[in-house]
Amino acid sequence: MRNPAAGPENALAVLAVIPNQGDRDALRGLFRHSNWLVSFTNSIAETMRSLKESPMAVVLCDRDLPDGSWKDLLAATQTVGRPPRVVLTSRLVDGRVWAEALSLGCHNVIPQPFLASELFPVLSFAWRNWRAGAAAISG
């Protein structure tokens, strides 16, 4: 679904680590009406294979993953050349989850169910932040 030739610097694309099919369907519906591309993985292992093949600027990560926690995924993404900005998503978001996610390095937290008015501004800011960081490194 994504165009790797475009590169993460130019493509408004997100890799969504969302194992739940209902949540994937909800995201597909939102992305269908946007200029963003979305691709999906189910697990940390699958995500890391995907990131090594096609770098991404933004990863949207469900709190609950079949092969570890969002913290494990966040740590794993830091091992790729240019780590993506990780945005955590969860049905249960409170101040503690938010503070922990941000203190450990997540870019932001988005509650579920997904709302376009929350999702796209956060993803856009994460992408711009990643891009600005990449420009600072190369410039």
- At 21-33, the pLDDT tens digits run 999 999 999 999 9
Percent pLDDT > 90 in the chain is 85
Domains of the chain: 4-138 (3.40.50.2300)
Burial class (CB in 10 A: 0-12, 13-18, 19+), 54: middle
Query: Is the peptide bond between 84 and the residue preceding it cis, with omega within 30 degrees of 0?
Result: no
Burial 85-120 (b: 16+ CB within 10 A, else e): bbbbbbeebeeebbeebeeeebbbbbbbebeeeebb
Checking if the pLDDT of 4 tops 70, the result is: no
At 9 the pLDDT is 80
